[in-house]
Every structure is written in C-alpha cells, then in structure tokens.
Amino acid sequence: MSFGRNEPALARYDRARIAARGLAVVRRPTGGRAVWHEHEVTYAVAAPVAQFGTLAESYCDIHARLARALGTLGLDARLAPAGPSAPLGAGACFAASAGGEVLVGGRKVVGSAQVRRGTAFLQHGSILLDGSQDVVRAVSRQPSAVSETTLARELGRPVMFAEVADAIVAAWDEPFEAAAPCRPLPPSAALFASPSWICAADRSVRP
C-alpha cells in the first residue's frame, strides 16, 4: 500500500491493523491518497513541463491517452468533468474522483498523482485490472464509499497486464524512445519505505 506524499497517514490509517495484515507500506514522492497495489498496471510518464503544459493540462492529456487505450479494449472510458482535485480528507485515492480522471461507468478506474521539479514532472498511477481497494478501507480509521471499478468487472472477463500495456503503447500518439537503461535504485530510494518517511504526517515531506 502506498501513501501520497503529504497524506496524514498516522491520522487516517491504523498502524496496528496494517501490521496485523502484514502489509508492506511505502510513501510515494508524488501527491494523492492511499492506494492498494495488487491487480493493476502501474504507468509512469516523466517529461519536460514544456511538452505537456500546466498541471491540469498534463493531467488531462495523459488521462485522455489512457482513456483512448481502454476504449480499444471495448470500454467506454471517459474523463471526469473539470473540477478541483479531491482534498486529502476525501479518503483513499479511489474513494473519490477529480476532474480529468478516467472513469468507466461513472466509477474511477485509474488513480494518478503528479510531482513537478523545476522544468520536469513525473506522473504515475494505477490502472485497476481486478480486485478491489477493500484493503485500504479495512485499515482506515474512517469508512469511505466504494467508488472504483476494474477492467475485469466492466468487461466481464479476465484482463491481462500485457493486454493493457500493449493498448497504451498502441494508442499513444507519439513514438516511444528506446527504453532507459536499467540501473539499481540509489541508496536514497530506501527512504520511501522507512518509518520516518511513511509516518510523516500533516507536514511537507521531501526525500
């Protein structure tokens, strides 16, 4: 399970319940709210800010591409109407949708977050293939409504990782450059799973 960069994790989630379930927990360098990572495709876009524009423009542009990709699988994927981002107090990531996010049947199917540093940005997110976010709700101190759906639920069949990944690549309007070389994570990457980073709450946190 991952927490958003500035999410008040200790106030919102029960550490004892998390430990009792043996859950691995990290805190993302991007914003947003808690996500349970299991049956999913995780995507990431790192690019110059100038290529995609403002935060709102880039958020909608990337989600529009993802929606087109899901459309090729037979899903009626649409972007949520324009509006403010859901506040941190709205519960887990998939408990509420914000303007520009991807919905299927009116329910959220892609959860995303973005961070900007200088002239570049990172946006990454979770595309739900199957399962649910019930784990997040089970360790939450406050109940939240079920507002997510999954590709398998909407299509009525199992949906494979490769199927979705290939659809995204095919629907992306620009050619992908050669894959970046694989390098070991720097020592600082361990920070994202350290208790001091994970439990940081109600304050700005930086790696």
d(CA 152, CA 128) in angstroms, rounded, equals 9
What's the CA gap between 85 and 114, in Å, rounded?
12
Task: Tell me which of 60, 93, 182, 199 is the catalytic residue.
Answer: 93
Q: What is d(CA 170, CA 201) in angstroms, rounded to the nearest whole number? A: 40
DSSP 8-state secondary structure symbol assigned to residue 127 = E
Told to judge if 60 belongs to the known catalytic residues of this protein, a careful annotator would answer: no
Bridge partners of 111? 126
**DSSP assigned state of 204:** -
**Pair 159, 151: CB distance under 8 Å:** yes
Torsions phi, psi for 142 (to 5 deg): -125, 130
What are the residue numbers of the active site? 93
